[in-house]
Structures are given as C-alpha cells and as structure tokens.
A and B are shown apart, each in its own frame.
Chain A
Amino acid sequence: MAEKLLELNNLKTSFRIKDDYYAAVDEVSLTVNKNEILAIVGESGCGKSALAFSIMGLHTRAKIEGDILFKGNNLAKMSPSEINKIRGKDIGFIFQDPLTSLNPLMEIKDQIGETLLLHNKNMSKTQRYERVLDLLNKVGIPRAEHVMNQFPHELSGGMRQRVVIAMAIANKPELLIADEPTTALDVTIQSQILELINKLKNEMDSGIILITHDLGVVAEMADRVAVMYAGQIVEIADVKTLFENPLHPYTKSLLNSVPNANEEQDKLHVIQGIVPSLQNLPREGCRFADRIPWVDESEHDKHPELNEIEPGHHVRCSCYKHFSFPDESKEGQHVLS
C-alpha cells in the first residue's frame, strides 16, 4: 500500500460576493501518495487553481471548510505562522506564469536563497549560495554561476520557469504542487520542463499534484487523474483506466474534443456552452446537465455523489450509465465547423 501524503476531506473553498458565499471548490476529497503524480484536469475556471491555492493557504479572502490533512496534520486549522513553516519546506509550489512570478528587483540567488533562508536558520550565506548553485545546476540552467547573479528580466521564459522550479524544490519538499507549469511556455520547452519534474519526483520520492488542462501532458506524466468540473471532482481514476474507459460525460467530452491525427476529421468536437460562473453555478443536481441537454433529466441524480464504480475508479452522478453523444451530422449546433 502506497504511503498517504495528502488527504483532502470534503474540501470547500468559498468566496464572498456581496453578501453570499459561493463555492469555487466543492466537496473535493482526494488523496496523494508518495512518489505519485496526481493530475487534476478541467477547463479554465473549473476551480483547479483555487483547489491548489486552498491546499497552500494562499487565498487571502476565502472561507475554507473541510480537512486538508498533510501527513496527518490539518493545514486548514493551522495559524499563519504554523503554515509558514510548512510552505516552501514540506510543500513546494510551482506557479503558472514564470514571467510574473519572480520578483523583478531581486537577484536570482536571493530569490532562491530566500526559501533556504526562511527554513534553515543556521545556514551561512556561503552555504546558501552554494546550495543555490547546486539547485540551478540540478534544474539544468547553463552557466549557473553567472545566472545566479542576474535579474529575472535577463532570463528567458523557460529559464525563469526553471528558476521557479528550483525555488519550489529548494528544501526537498515531500509534496510538490505544479499549477499549470508549462502553460506559458512553448512546446519544446514544455517537454523539457515536464521531464525535469518527472526526474525530480523520482529523486526526491515526493508526491506531485499536477494541474493542467493539457490531456497530452496528463497521459504522459500522471499516475492517477482527477477530472474537475465546476468546482467538483466528477471522475477520478488511474491514468490507464481514465483514457481507456472514461465514464463521466464530461470526461468523455473532454477526450472527444482532442483532435486525433490518425482519424480523418473535418470537424472539431466542442463541448456546448461554457463553465458557469461562480454565481451561476447550479446549487443542486448534476452540474454538467446544462451542457448535455439531450440527456433526459431523469438520468441525473438529485444529489450527485462520487461513487466508486470499480476499485480506484470514482464517478459522480449516474448520468454516465446511458450516455452517448448525439449523431453529429444532424446536431450541428454543438459542433464547430
């Protein structure tokens, strides 16, 4: 049995808009084990990043309910100073946009050094800079002894993302959260960065939460996958099962909308509509129902819950049972020509 690193129980993150709270993350329960990559996929605005920020306690104005158990300690109940001891040390965070996530006025060595400084009070300055040099070499930055004295604006996007990663892994964290680490980078750099993350995972034996909307990345990297829709997890399974036997209509739609190079296609599948905004979320019933209007209402559960269909494979709502896509040659309205 794999060792449990992080366990979320009914996590709910709500934001206050006017006088009401709206949940951006709702009823999320999942686990991350050691030396495992859990991918979280979903459309923009489905709550992936909100979930990641909740785990780190990075939301400044959110109400967080439920438990975030990290090695048995509940992060959700910790005081800011307690959580500061864990952030950057036991949990590393890789941000989405390397161009904006570095302080423009600090030299690289001091930005990475800050993570070391905050968690290793006894480290001397020389030791710290030596370690920074090590880290830069580890993440594959050429001429590291030169780069460490540079400022962020002197580096390219790919280099900056490597610096962000070096910062996240500086204290050998047991859990690494990567929030769309490759979205802002071009494709060649993407695969290098992903390779790097994979290599580091094996070296440090850490658990990784990889947030992405790129199914190609998921297939390549993940051990298990959680599919999120409108703040909820709709399906969770190991990567092989998910790609071979997707069950939830949303997962199917997602996989269906990836263009396939082998088949001849003149039309790209798209999912009708958009993710509802926070204020317009359906408060009860299946949240995906509006986007598959051809499915009869009776197919959906009244209070959809995540059910275990087979060991390790959970699906929300029962609408998956008789789900099929309508004949596309007739239904022109949800197909983009």
Chain B
Amino acid sequence: MWKFSVRRTLIMIPQIFLLSILIFVLAQLMPGDALSGTVDPNVDPERLDEIREQMGWNDPWHEQYARWMGGVLQGDLGQSFRFKMPVTELIGQRIVNSFWLSVATLILTYLIAIPLGITSGRYSDTFRDQLITGYTYVGFATPLFIFALVMLWIFGFQLGWFPTSGSVEPGVEPGTFNYFMSKVYHLLLPALSMALITTYGTIQYLRNEIIDTKQKDFILTARAKGASESRVYNRHIFRNSLLPIAAFFGFEITNLIGGSIFIENIFGYPGMGQLLVESISLRDYTVLTAVTLIFGVASILGALLSDIILSIVDPRIRIK
C-alpha cells in the first residue's frame, strides 16, 4: 500500500510541472496586460514600455517562467496588480471557503447518490428506478447556473430561508460556535444546489454497476452458500459496486471546481471560483495563474486520492 502510494505520488511531480508550464504559456497568450486599459490614458506609451521592460515582461517566456516558478516554490505567488497585495494573502481566506464548500457539496452528493443509486440498481426497471433515473436525466439536462439562480430566487429571496450572499454573517466573532454555524448556514444553499445537479453521474454509475454486479457469477455462489438476499446485497454486490465510485471520486473533484466557478459567482460566495472570474476580467495575471495552478493541482490530487482509495478497496491493484 505505502509503496504504491509513494510511487503514485512521485508520478505527480512531472504532471504538476507540465501543468505549470501550460498555464503560464496560456496566460501569456491572453491579449493585453495589467497596464492596458487600467492606467491613465494620458501616460506616454513610451513610459509604459519602459515599465514593461522594468517588470521583465519583455523577457523570453522561459526566463519569466523560471522567475515565476522560483517564487512559487518558495511560496510566493507574486503581487496582485489589481488588489495591490500578495496573491498568497488574497487567496488565503478564499481557499478555505472554497475548500469547505467543496467538502459540503461532496458530502451532500454522496448522501443523495448512494441511497438513490442502490435503490435504483437493486430494483431496476421498477417504478422507483424509473423515478430516480428520470431525476438523473433532469439533472443531466439542467445547466447548473440556471438551476442555482432558481434555487437562490426561491429559497434565498422568496422564502428567505437562506442568506443570499457572503460566507459568514458580518460582525460574528471568529472562532465561536455561532461563527461556525453561520459558516455552515451560508454554505448550505450553494452546496445543495450544486449537489442536486452534479449527483446524477454518481447515481447512474452506481446504478449501472449494481445491475452489472448483480449478474456476476460470484453472486450466484453467494446465494448457493445460503446467504440471504440482504447479505448478498450488503456483503457482495454493494462493495464490488463501489469500486468505480471510488475511481470516479477524482473526476468529482474536477467537476466541483468547474461548478464552484458558477456557484460562487451566483451566490456571491467569496471563494476561489469567484476570484478566478474577477482576475480574468481584470487581466490580473498573477492571480489568474495562481488560481488556475491551484485548481490544476487540486484535480491532480483528486486523481491521486481516488487511486489510493481504489488501492485500499481493491486488492487487485495493490502492488507488492
């Protein structure tokens, strides 16, 4: 197990390296820079060129990349042009917010998906199954940003059950129980909106996997041993069906990142997704590259995590 995890972790290093080059080059390819459009138009263009030269923006890309990467490795993501503060400081609180939003969404996703997937798979082709499958089709077809707006309108504005923006009540003392509850309260609606929509993949996976496992020969073996129907399901079918769900976990994290960009903007939730959109429209390169890099690393970590989970639950993958 440990050997496998270490090996798998080592593979990650070149992946992250390639990712960082890609992100950096793509950011360079974007039109305009931090000076275009944001400075006084009366400033002499030659003066702007001078500043660009000073900042090293005219150097070949690999030199700029080396400078940037050197900083990143020391934990320095650069200065935000827009907010005039270190990017690390800017990201600091937001990354925590986004992390908790993702955790809440994941928990809700699995809370919805596992019972529905099991019911749907076990009683396949019954009315219950059709109902659940119908829900997954609706989930699949509904764009997240529209659904989130509808949820916000109904539960946030019309019924007023949930706050409509922010991540915490203003003026609550950090560290107290009230602060924690206020955080959870602000999380719930965005997390639920996202979970309800993105859970369809997991439900479908689980359903198909259960239907598939149900017909495997070793299930007959279990029945022939005299195992009761519930034991056959709990001990044999369910566990074998969870394997692809574990494999799907990494993909789920990537999904969450994509989703959080919409969700955080709609719910005015100060997280990484919101920051990303802001930094793109403001040409805030340092923030943009930093946020994209963090998202990329999170996806790679997600894949690593699913591989490790898979190696725990599936003995065939363990490397001796």
Of A58, A80, A103, A104, chain B has the most CB atoms within 10 Å of the CB of A103
> Is A299 interfacial (CB-CB < 8 Å)?
no
Are A84 and B220 within 8 A (Cβ)?
no
Are A84 and B222 within 8 A (Cβ)?
no
Give residues 48-92 of A contacting B (CB, 8 Å). Answer: 56, 58, 80-81, 84-89, 92
* Cα A58 to Cα B232 with chains together (Å): 13
Give residues 261-320 of B contacting A (CB, 8 Å). Answer: 313-316
Are A88 and B226 within 8 A (Cβ)?
yes
Are B240 and A103 within 8 A (Cβ)?
yes
The 8 Å CB contact of A103, one of B222, B226, B231, B313, is B222
Q: Which residues of B contact A102 (CB under 8 A)?
A: 218, 221
The 8 Å CB contact of A151, one of B225, B313, B316, is B316
- From known contacts A101-B218, A105-B313, A105-B315, infer whether A81 and B225 are also in contact, taking CB-CB under 8 Å: no
- From known contacts A100-B216, A100-B218, infer whether A105 and B225 are also in contact, taking CB-CB under 8 Å: no
> Is B239 interfacial (CB-CB < 8 Å)?
yes
> Is A213 interfacial (CB-CB < 8 Å)?
no
The 8 Å CB contact of A58, one of B224, B229, B313, is B224
> Is A118 interfacial (CB-CB < 8 Å)?
yes
Are B222 and A80 within 8 A (Cβ)?
no
> Is A225 interfacial (CB-CB < 8 Å)?
no
Are B224 and A103 within 8 A (Cβ)?
no
* Cα A38 to Cα B218 with chains together (Å): 25
> Is B44 interfacial (CB-CB < 8 Å)?
no
Are A87 and B223 within 8 A (Cβ)?
yes
Kindly provide the distance from the CB of B128 to the nearest chain A CB, expressed in whole angstroms.
Answer: 18
Are B226 and A164 within 8 A (Cβ)?
no
Q: Which residues of A contact B221 (CB under 8 A)?
A: 93, 95, 101-103, 164, 167
Nearest chain B residue, comparing its CB with the CB of A100: B217
> Is A97 interfacial (CB-CB < 8 Å)?
yes
The 8 Å CB contact of B224, one of A80, A93, A100, A119, is A93
What number of residue pairs across chains A and B have CB atoms under 8 A from each other? 72
Q: CB-defined interface of B24-66 with A at 8 Å, one 1/0 digit per residue?
A: 0000000000000000000000000000000000000000000
Are A118 and B227 within 8 A (Cβ)?
yes
* Cα A105 to Cα B310 with chains together (Å): 12
Kindly provide the distance from the CB of A166 to the nearest chain B CB, expressed in whole angstroms.
Answer: 12
Nearest chain A residue, comparing its CB with the CB of B224: A93
Are B228 and A167 within 8 A (Cβ)?
no
| Number of B interface residues in the complex (CB < 8 A) | 22
> Is B122 interfacial (CB-CB < 8 Å)?
no
Q: Which residues of A contact B218 (CB under 8 A)?
A: 100-104
> Is B236 interfacial (CB-CB < 8 Å)?
yes
Q: Is the interface of B mostly helix, strand, loop or mixed?
A: helix
Are B217 and A118 within 8 A (Cβ)?
no
> Is A153 interfacial (CB-CB < 8 Å)?
yes
Q: Which residues of B contact A80 (CB under 8 A)?
A: 228-229
Nearest chain B residue, comparing its CB with the CB of A87: B226
* Cα A43 to Cα B292 with chains together (Å): 63
Are A87 and B240 within 8 A (Cβ)?
no
The 8 Å CB contact of B225, one of A97, A104, A153, A167, is A167
> Is A114 interfacial (CB-CB < 8 Å)?
yes
> Is A182 interfacial (CB-CB < 8 Å)?
no
Are B217 and A104 within 8 A (Cβ)?
no
> Is A115 interfacial (CB-CB < 8 Å)?
yes
Q: Which residues of B contact A81 (CB under 8 A)?
A: 228
Q: CB-defined interface of A99-120 with B at 8 Å, one 1/0 digit per residue?
A: 0111111000000001100110
Are B217 and A105 within 8 A (Cβ)?
no
The 8 Å CB contact of B227, one of A84, A93, A101, is A84
Q: Which residues of B contact A95 (CB under 8 A)?
A: 217, 220-221, 224
Q: Which residues of A contact B228 (CB under 8 A)?
A: 80-81, 84
Nearest chain A residue, comparing its CB with the CB of B215: A60
Give residues 131-172 of A contacting B (CB, 8 Å). Answer: 151, 153, 164, 167-168
Are A114 and B316 within 8 A (Cβ)?
no
* Cα A100 to Cα B236 with chains together (Å): 13
* Cα A97 to Cα B220 with chains together (Å): 12
- From known contacts A105-B313, A151-B315, infer whether A118 and B220 are also in contact, taking CB-CB under 8 Å: no
Q: Which residues of B contact A119 (CB under 8 A)?
A: 226
Of B217, B229, B231, B316, chain A has the most CB atoms within 10 Å of the CB of B217
Q: Which residues of B contact A85 (CB under 8 A)?
A: 226
Nearest chain A residue, comparing its CB with the CB of B242: A105
- From known contacts A100-B217, A103-B240, infer whether A114 and B222 are also in contact, taking CB-CB under 8 Å: yes
- From known contacts A100-B217, A151-B316, infer whether A105 and B226 are also in contact, taking CB-CB under 8 Å: no
Q: CB-defined interface of B199-241 with A at 8 Å, one 1/0 digit per residue?
A: 0000000000000000011101111111111010001100110
The 8 Å CB contact of A105, one of B220, B224, B231, B314, is B314
Kindly provide the distance from the CB of A111 to the nearest chain B CB, expressed in whole angstroms.
Answer: 8
Q: Which residues of A contact B216 (CB under 8 A)?
A: 100
Q: Which residues of A contact B236 (CB under 8 A)?
A: 103
Q: Which residues of B contact A88 (CB under 8 A)?
A: 224-227
Q: Which residues of A contact B229 (CB under 8 A)?
A: 80
Nearest chain A residue, comparing its CB with the CB of B236: A103
Kindly provide the distance from the CB of A162 to the nearest chain B CB, expressed in whole angstroms.
Answer: 14
Given contacts A87-B226, A88-B224, 15 further A-B contacts (CB under 8 A): A81-B228, A87-B224, A88-B227, A89-B226, A93-B221, A95-B220, A95-B221, A97-B217, A103-B218, A103-B222, A105-B314, A115-B225, A115-B226, A151-B315, A164-B221
Instruction: Give me 12 A-to-B residue pairs in the complex whose CB atoms sit less than 8 angstroms apart, sorted by A's number.
Output: A58-B223, A87-B225, A87-B226, A89-B226, A101-B221, A105-B313, A105-B315, A114-B225, A115-B225, A151-B316, A153-B316, A167-B221
The 8 closest A-B pairs by CB, nearest first: A88-B226, A88-B225, A100-B217, A93-B224, A87-B226, A101-B217, A103-B218, A84-B226
